[in-house]
Structure 1
Amino acid sequence: MDLKIKFLGAANEVTGSKHYLETPETKLLVDCGVFQGVKELRELNWQKLPVAVAKIDFVLLTHGHLDHVGYLPRLVRNGFRGKILGTAPTLAIARIVLLDSAKIHEEEAERANREGYSKHSPAMPFFTEKEAEFTLRFFEAVEKNEWRHLSLNLRFRFRYVGHIIGACFIELEAHGKRFVFSGDVGRQNDYLLAPPKRPRWADYLIMESTYGHQLHPQEDPERVLTDLVHRVVQERGNLVIPSFAIERLQSLMYVLYKLYRKNKIPGIPVFVDSPMGANVLSVFDDYREWHTLSREDFQAMCRYVTIITSYADTWNTVDDPRPKIIIAGSGMVTGGRVLVYLSQLIKKENTHVLLVGYQAEGTRGRLLLEGTPELKIFGKFLPVKAKIHHLQSLSAHADQAGLLHWLGGIKNVPEQVFLVHGEPTALDALRVKIVDRHGWRVRIPKLFETFGMWA
């Protein structure tokens, strides 16, 4: 029985996760994300996929991050009419992400046309709110741990993997072979989430490698944040934290609330400017069994911060002369409200920018991390006078040790391991470790590469 897997994204790089599996009965995608980062990758988003989109029966979502769900409206535009399956919190997150992204796409296209800085005339949104809304019609929630048949010889189940609320790895059985798609693996010790479950059997393992080349530093995020807040108060400046709206933002809120409650930081204003992040808080409230926060801590954490929803209040916050903490999307400074703050504050020496977690190649976050003297925002190059800091210990991804621990639960010898979702250095480092420790066959697929298997 011939089975085929084709890697339509996250192959030799981190973003754009899309894995196409074809069996004699069924065609499906595992994840459907957009490419982010360098221009050459972003341009791939506008190209049609090299598969028959209208013939895809299912999309299975490991979790709701943009690089795993952000291509869904384009998939629907190009003819997909199957089911999009995920856990209930994953679909809730995906709904928020898609509607927020559509709004940003439309706003950026409108701004580019108004100010004339796009090379395209007119600039068009990648997808619209109307298209995002239409995509939601294909969503269907599936309980974790329960096997679900997609056809006579194909079934799957979601299993908890940490990382963000709702996230799971996927065990998929096709004609007697078990495929395991890791999605993004979370950490053993997380402020908000339980440790990931581990697979026990995999004939084919499709494994993420984001931090396959390194261990997270043994830094204390509470000490780092305490020191930074005190510096901001002394300098009467601003601490700007670009943050992913999902999990990272809630973790930052919780850590800052804990520090304030313990009298380790003063009661300066903490503004959370992320409409998407505010909506994600409702998902935490609705799906309490998916995280470890008590009701009391969750409610107190929400009261501790000021949540901004209107664009007018964004500018009021910029103009607020008090020392303050601003947490705003997006985490890699690729868009969102954080660009407004940085456009006004990055040229000030008493501004501190704290980058939290992974910064993909080609993003503004990576440029700041590498010490760029200027940053292009809204078509203008701005001098970077702010002090740039980096905190990796709040990363939602397992590091190399965590990834090896996770796959170490597999009792058999897989026929093939495919490493995805990593930059070349990370992919090769993890490949070497797996071969050295387990002796397994490991491949690093290229973009659009197809592999045939027999069942």
Structure 2
Amino acid sequence: MEKFVKITFLGAAGVVTGSKFLIETSEKNILIDCGMFQGLKELRELNWNDLPIDVNAIDIVLLTHGHLDHVGYLPRLRKQGFKGPITGTAPTLAIAEIILKDSAKIHEEEAEKANKEKYTKHNPALPFYTIDDAEKTIQLFKVEIEDKWITLSEHISYRFQYNGHIIGATFIEIDINGKRFVFSGDIGRTNDYLLKDPKTPEWADVLFIESTYGNKLHPEENVENILTEIITDTIHKKGNLIIPSFAVERLQTLMYILWQLYKKNKIPNIPIFIDSPMGNNVLEVFKHFPKWHKLSGQDYQAMCNHVHIIQSYKETWETIDDTRSKIVIAGSGMVTGGRVLTYLQQLIDEPSTTVLLVGYQAEGTRGRQLQDGAHEIRFFGKYYPVKATIKNIDSLSAHADQQDLINWMSTIKNVPEQIYLIHGEPSTLDAFRVKIQNTFNWTVKIPKLNDVEKFMI
């Protein structure tokens, strides 16, 4: 019987989101990541379709990390018949649990609100999944340690390798009958404020590499100086600085930088409010997994003591009504939902407000609209004029840029049989393809959604 490996690109192919890759072999079927599509409506609508595969035949899910676009489809996968283990590092599964519960809560609340206020075409609007669905999915979680080969079957083994990006994140190496398949996950950056440098692969016969910033170099910005200037201007205008933030990593990084700025006497003791229930839970993950980041226990505590952590929606409104100049960091990072919408609803039409975007803004998100200079923005079924100043700091991104990605690949000792570029927008993927070919002279492909590739082993 001929032995083969078949790969189906179920997400993050030609787009940045919805990471899902099915590996089928004669021994085991493995799903790498199981993310939701985000951003453009045509992508989001794909989430409602069942996967075009036999879900019952999947033996195991391996997670690179806990972000929604890598784990957010898991409850739907379970409902379609998946019963196997969902495997990742301990912090990855801790993050995934937080994100799935939070996401389910938002889905339930949005469906309820849409039905109540009748701003939906669906009758009734249904949540994408419920808290009960999330909890049943979490029961399938199985922790494996990093940097250890784990045997899956006679000829298949895999290993998680530290990758920076967010706490718990890894790239995954899978050896199938002597051939090594490497899935990069999302690659972090060197010299990160909170995380150690990513490890790098030494061998890859087939490489699947993320390309989020495959056509860009992060600007050589002095983040501390830029933040100091924006905060000084906010105080001068007697206004508010609102920072929509990803709850995982970005929020904790911002807390750390603001605490450092205060310690260095670069900014006064301006009130800082953290309004992200999910972000608060992620802080607990930092506390429980100290080996996965660079913060000492003492620094962690001092950083947390420097900010006001909002515990209830009542406190959100009290913060909005507080007339002092202040900094509010609230989810979500692409302004797609969460508490930040409440602040923007009240404050985005005031010229004294500054909104600071601090990460990648996917196509079709409100964050991208603000970044592109939209004069009005829609949420809760209404349009609000944008009179606030919109600022952007690109260099706080948790993703490797083009040079980081090239450096990460340059430790591979062999010539890979095939490189697949995933997790990028079309123009980015093409620019990165050219860069890799010029740098390494390797064979590079850009797969499309639902493409299938086959390898003999």
TM-score in terms of structure 2 length: 0.99
| Alpha-carbon displacement from aligned partner over 1:71-120 (angstroms, at most 9, x marks no partner) | 00010011100110000000000000000001111111111111111111
Q: Which residue in 1 is equivalent to 2:112?
A: 110
Partner residue in 2 for 1:231? 233
Match of 1:141? 143
Counterpart in 2 of 1:222? Answer: 224
Shift of 1:230: 0.7
Alignment match of 1:357 (pick from 356, 359, 368):
359
Is 1:77 aligned to 2:112, yes or no? no
Distance 1:289 1:2 in 2: 39
Write the mapping of 1:42-191 to structure 2, written as runs, cut at 5 A: 42-191=44-193
CA distance in 2, matches of 1:50, 1:21: 14
Shift of 1:8: 0.4
Q: Deviation per CA, 1:112-158: give whole Å up to 9, x if none.
A: 11111111111111000000000011000000011111111111000
1:306 is the counterpart of 2:308:
yes
Structure 2 counterpart of 1:337, which letter?
R
User: 1:70 offset after TM fit, Å?
Assistant: 0.4
Structure 2 residue aligned with 1:450, among 449, 452, 457? 452
2:286 maps to: 284
Write the letter of the residue equivalent to 2:120. S
User: Which amino acid in 2 is paired with 1:146?
Assistant: K
2:425 alignment partner in structure 1: 423
User: Hey, which bits of structure 1, 4+ residues long, moved more than 3 A?
Assistant: none
Matched, 1:203 2:205: yes
CA distance in 2, matches of 1:313, 1:119: 33
2:264 to 244, 248, 262: 262
Residue equivalent to 1:372: 374
Structure 1 Cα separation of the partners of residues 78 and 241 of structure 2:
40
Corresponding residue SS for 1:45 = helix
Task: Within 5 Å, give how 1:292-441 maps onto structure 2.
Answer: 292-441=294-443
1:40-90 CA-to-partner distances (Å, cap 9, x unmatched) read 000000001011111111000000000000000010011100110000000
Task: Report SS of the residue matched to 1:417.
Answer: strand
Secondary structure in 2 matching 1:381:
strand
Letter in 2 for 1:140: K
- Distance in 2 (CA, whole Å) between partners of 1:48 and 1:61 is 20
Deviation at 1:296, TM superposition (A): 1.1
Q: 1:368 & 1:167 partners in 2: Cα distance?
A: 29
Q: 1:402-429 CA distances to partner (integer Å, 9 max, x unpaired)? A: 0000011101000000000000111111
SS at match of 1:210: coil
SS across alignment from 2:324: coil
1:375 match: secondary structure:
strand
Q: Deviations over 1:197-252 (max 9, x none)?
A: 00000000000000000100000110111011111111111000000000000000
Instruction: State TM-score, norm by structure 1.
Output: 0.99
Which whole-Å CA distance do the structure 1 matches of 2:450 and 2:326 have between them? 46
Per-residue CA distance 1:287-322 (angstroms, 9 max, x = gap): 000000111111000000111121111111111111
Distance 1:319 1:33 in 2: 37
The one-letter amino acid of 2:327's match is I
What SS class does the counterpart of residue 139 from structure 2 fall into? helix
In 2: Cα distance, 1:425 partner to 1:273 partner: 35
Distance in 1 of aligned mates of 2:287 and 2:414? 39
Superposition deviation, residue 13 in structure 1: 0.7
**2: CA distance, partners of 1:221 / 1:395:** 11
1: CA distance, partners of 2:191 / 2:421: 24
Which of these residues, 25, 29, 38, is aligned with residue 31 of structure 2?
29
Deviation at 1:2, TM superposition (A): 1.4
Q: Is the partner of 1:107 in helix, strand or coil?
A: helix
Q: How far did 1:189 drift?
A: 1.3
What is the root-mean-square deviation of aligned Cα atoms in Å? 0.6
Q: Secondary structure at the match of 1:393?
A: helix
Specify the SS of the correspondent of 2:395: coil
Distance between the aligned counterparts of 2:455 and 2:340, measured in 1? 46
Residue 8 of structure 2: which of 6, 28, 48 is its match?
6
Give the Cα–Cα distance (whole angstroms) in 1 for the partners of residues 141 and 443 of structure 2. Answer: 36
Q: For residue 51 of structure 2, give the secondary structure of its aligned residue in structure 1.
A: coil
Determine if the alignment matches structure 1 residue 194 to structure 2 residue 196: yes
Q: 1:26: Cα distance to partner?
A: 0.7
Identity of aligned residues (%): 62
From 226, 248, 251, the counterpart of 2:250? 248
- d(CA) in 2 for partners of 1:229 and 1:313? 22
5+ residue gaps, structure 1, are none
**Aligned partners of 2:374, 2:385: CA distance in 1, in Å?**
9
